[in-house]
Amino acid sequence: AQSVAQPEDQVNVAEGNPLTVKCTYSVSGNPYLFWYVQYPNRGLQFLLKYITGDNLVKGSYGFEAEFNKSQTSFHLKKPSALVSDSALYFCAVRDGNAGNMLTFGGGTRLMVKP
Amino acid sequence: EAGVVQSPRYKIIEKKQPVAFWCNPISGHNTLYWYLQNLGQGPELLIRYENEEAVDDSQLPKDRFSAERLKGVDSTLKIQPAELGDSAVYLCASSPQGMMGEQYFGPGTRLTVT
């Protein structure tokens, strides 16, 4: 079975500071990893993905994520946070070797304060 | 291009009543998903369609939930009868054939059962 853990319910950061939203995963095969963002009353919006290749993946709105196979982590990062980045962030994983099911983490609320 | 369209956006019904949700995926996307999202949690897959065929419905409570995707385009998710615990946001998503890439989500239907 595959699973995703987002250990922080909420992350608070000041505008202009770097941010990190943590994600760890568990799959039996090769992981396909995704980050989505959800703004209030909106559907989930794709940010970035890791399938293969470079461990550092760059995505939309200046976000990036680093795949770490030994730590089974895929943390989301941004060098300088904006107030408009405040939203709910979801990490998701799919087992590349078995099936097409995408499993989401419980989400982390990012609060960026001016 | 137009995104995933869902209707209605909000629905309030009394328990034991039936309810239906409609989804129009992005043109050309063969794969369609219905997810359930409880407040403060990540989406959970209910059913996945590849064209007209439901290929993964193991999480769909078949005693009261049903879904169809006639002609491999639009889809309808139905609950009959609704229970208080069905109150949640129902998300529809679509993706091009294959699951290498990201999914595109609609805004969701917020269901309240009273």
| Residues A9-50: tens digit of each pLDDT | 999 999 999 999 999 999 988 899 999 999 987 889 999 999
Nearest to A51 among B48, B93, B100 (CB): B100
- For residue A107, the chain B residues in CB contact (below 8 A) are 40-42
What mean pLDDT, rounded, does chain A reach?
Answer: 93
Question: What integer pLDDT is reported at residue B102 of this predicted model?
Answer: 83
Whether residue B42 lies within 8 A of chain A, CB to CB, comes out as yes
Q: Chain A to chain B, count of Cβ pairs less than 8 Å apart? A: 52
Q: CA-CA distance, B6 to B9, in Å (whole number)?
A: 7
Q: What percent of chain A has pLDDT over 70?
A: 96
Closest chain B residue to A31, measured at CA = B100
Question: What integer pLDDT is reported at residue A100 of this predicted model?
Answer: 67
Residue B25 has pLDDT above 90, yes or no: yes
Which tens digit of pLDDT belongs to each residue from A54-94? 999 999 999 999 999 999 999 999 999 999 999 999 999 98
